[in-house]
Amino acid sequence: MRLRSEDPASDRETEAAARFADKGCRPPLAAFYPGLGHLSCGRPSEGKALVSAGTVELAGALAGAIGRGPGSAAAQLPLLAYSDLLVASTFDLILDSQRAERLVYTPQEDLPALFAAPFDPHVLRDPLVWGGIAGTLAAGLLVSRVIDGPLNTDGLGQEPVIFGARMHDAVGYPLAGALGTALFVQVAAAEEMAFRGVLQSGWARTSGETAGWVYASLSFGLVHASNLPFIERGARLKYLYAGVPFITLLGSYLGLAYRYGGYRLSKPVAVHFWYDFLVEAIGFAGDPKHSPLSAGIGLRF
């Protein structure tokens, strides 16, 4: 990781510079469909994987809309996953272009490494990661109780309902786990590349590391205020005075893990993923018949 402009170029920076020197490299294509930019910029394996994943998610959204209706979880969840994959694909190339320019504070991990980060033992054993997961989860559950009231456990142990279909435990719970994993790993990678990799590092270069951390943390909270339309009308005020400030604090911890982890995105991505996954898993276990997988998707964090 280069934290000073006089440091020698890393191997990733040298490779990125060579890719972006190719006249056929078209990074803006990433904003139109996941993987197109990677295919044009000398990263064919990642490009093919992203194109395939995006196609599967769009096909799933279409099938869900036809079978269950456009407002159903069967349509919304794969569409949400696709939107995060598109963001992740776009910001991956933005960061690659910054590596090509040898900008300081630019993370060196590519998208495949970030997708693997939440399951990497070397990442998880870091106190910034396992301590962050435990602390943010405890705080998140507390804030959720303030916003949503007591945890609903009416359906504890019952067969889950996924996309409107009641399933046996042996099928429903593993399927829910797989769907949550696929969704939240894309959410975590996309948001961390945007808020930490691009915004925090960008502000660190122009305004200093502390200012970069503060600005990115505030931006993280403010952008999540856009979830308000997805919140039930009666809970919107509580979301604004409790949920948004908490999300800002969560973003500040992720920013600290990024900064003091050597400007490596793997650490905040891992914390972000496990926080989202475990909060939703606890809610799903308590009421598997009325989870976001059985009705519409409500974005809270």
- pLDDT tens readout for residues 46-90: 999 999 999 999 999 999 999 989 888 889 999 999 999 999 999
> What is the C-alpha to C-alpha distance for residues 16 and 42, in angstroms, rounded to an integer?
9
Rounded average pLDDT over 274-285: 90
Non-local CB neighbours of 109 within 8 Å, separated by 6+ positions: 117, 264, 265, 266
The label of the residue with tokens 């503060």 reads 214
Summarised one tens digit per residue, pLDDT across range 175-231 is: 999 999 999 999 999 999 999 999 999 999 999 999 999 999 999 999 988 877 777
Query: DSSP state, 196?
Result: I
Q: How confident is the model at residue 296 (pLDDT cuts 50, 70, 90)?
A: very low
Query: In sequence order, what are the beta bridge partners of 165?
Result: 162
Q: Which two tokens stand for residue 178?
A: 């797989």
The pTM assigned to this predicted structure is: 0.92
